[in-house]
Chains A and B, each alone.
Chain A
Amino acid sequence: MASEANDLIHQPLRLRLMATLNALPARQQLEFTQLRSLLEASDGNLGAHLSTLEKAGYISMEKDFVQRKPRTRVALTRTGRQAFEQHVAYLRAILDAATP
């Protein structure tokens, strides 16, 4: 278990983003527009956070065109899933330690 919070994941929007992707079966992707709707985020804000997580190797993004419209699909990588699970374990440990 990690001894401190993962700063990359703990930012509020990135935390919800990672939680959403982590709830999907392995390798399943969500479209950018679906994520934007689920997280109630703006295009720019979501794009910036996705870029940060991609640089860290936590997510993978695939871009293509469907009926001449650009489509971005996002999935959690194995590294991302492990990092998220470690962060959740860290959060739970804090609560466990605080429970008398």
Chain B
Amino acid sequence: MNLNPEQASIALNDISNAQRKLAIFTGYQHAAPHFWLWGVIWLIGYSATDLLPQYAGETWLTLNLIGFLTGAWLAKANGAAAGGPGAGTHKPWDLPALQVLYIGLAFALFIAATFVLFTPTPTQFGAFPALLVGFAYTVVGIWGGVRWLAAGISLSVLTMIGYLYVPQHFMLWMAVFGGGTLIASGFWMKAR
């Protein structure tokens, strides 16, 4: 069978689309456990901040450390399972794990620097990181797929609703709706 240039072009386009769909699917599968992890961390962190606001700094420092280290371990496990950069290695830190740690550190430093420049109220202290994460997911969604976009928009909108309309119970609001959105997004990411 011989093909003409138009048929060849259509076939190459189909190949490109199939590969893009696989990349999005793989991204969802790898992201799901991270969404669950941070959903649980937010649930615990915001609840603890509501109950014991005087220990908010220590609570979040501890939870974020746990989150970043567990996230790095998850990234390494994902890479090994997928035959990617972590496959077949027994090094404690490899590329996917270091990427997660780098992203975590960048977020933490940016948020810390912002709080030095603009001293936040307790509600702003809870809202700003969530809004930043929501914005990041929305940006990732441009390339990574509609599920990232939906997670980012939901998180941002729910954060603003809580900030504007439920300021007296904002931390509990974020525990339920922020953590809940992350956990639900994780299940959606895992779905086929």
Using a CB–CB distance below 8 Å, which chain A residues touch chain B? 4-5, 7, 10, 12, 15-17, 19-20, 22-28, 33-34, 37-39, 88, 91-92, 94-95, 97-98
Which chain A residues lie closer than 8 Å to B15 at the CB level? Answer: 15-16, 19, 88
> Which listed residue, B9, B18, B25, B84, touches A34 by the CB 8 Å rule?
B25
* Complex Cα spacing A99 to B189, Å: 42
Which chain A residues lie closer than 8 Å to B14 at the CB level? Answer: 12, 15-16, 19
* Complex Cα spacing A97 to B8, Å: 11
For chain A, what secondary structure do more than half of its interface residues adopt (helix, strand, loop), or is it mixed? helix
The residue of chain A having its C-beta at the shortest distance from the C-beta of B20 within the complex is A23
Min CB distance A12 to B, Å, is 7
Please tell me if B192 contacts chain A, counting CB pairs below 8 Å. yes
Q: Write out, one digit per residue, whether chain B residues 6-33 have a CB within 8 A of any chain A CB (1) or not (0).
A: 0011011011011101110100000000
Chain B interface residue number, banded:
20 to 34
The residue of chain A having its C-beta at the shortest distance from the C-beta of B81 within the complex is A28
> Which listed residue, B4, B8, B18, B83, touches A16 by the CB 8 Å rule?
B18
For chain B, what secondary structure do more than half of its interface residues adopt (helix, strand, loop), or is it mixed? helix
Min CB distance B164 to A, Å, is 39
With contacts A10-B11, A88-B12 taken as known, whether A23 is within 8 angstroms of B4 at the C-beta atoms is no
Which chain B residues lie closer than 8 Å to A92 at the CB level? Answer: 8, 12
Is there contact, CB below 8 Å, between A94 and B3? Answer: yes
With contacts A10-B1, A20-B21, A94-B4 taken as known, whether A37 is within 8 angstroms of B192 at the C-beta atoms is yes
Min CB distance B22 to A, Å, is 5
Please tell me if B51 contacts chain A, counting CB pairs below 8 Å. no
Q: Can you list 20 A-B pairs, Cβ within 8 angstroms, ordered by A?
A: A4-B2, A5-B3, A7-B1, A10-B3, A10-B11, A15-B15, A16-B18, A19-B14, A19-B19, A20-B22, A22-B19, A23-B22, A25-B87, A26-B83, A27-B83, A28-B83, A88-B12, A91-B3, A94-B8, A95-B12
Q: A16-B15, A22-B19 are in contact. List 12 more A-B contacts (CB 8 A).
A: A19-B19, A20-B22, A23-B19, A24-B22, A26-B83, A27-B83, A28-B82, A33-B192, A91-B8, A91-B12, A94-B5, A97-B5
Q: Most A CB atoms within 10 A — which of B8, B19, B21, B25?
A: B8
Which chain A residues lie closer than 8 Å to B18 at the CB level? Answer: 15-17, 19-20, 23, 38-39
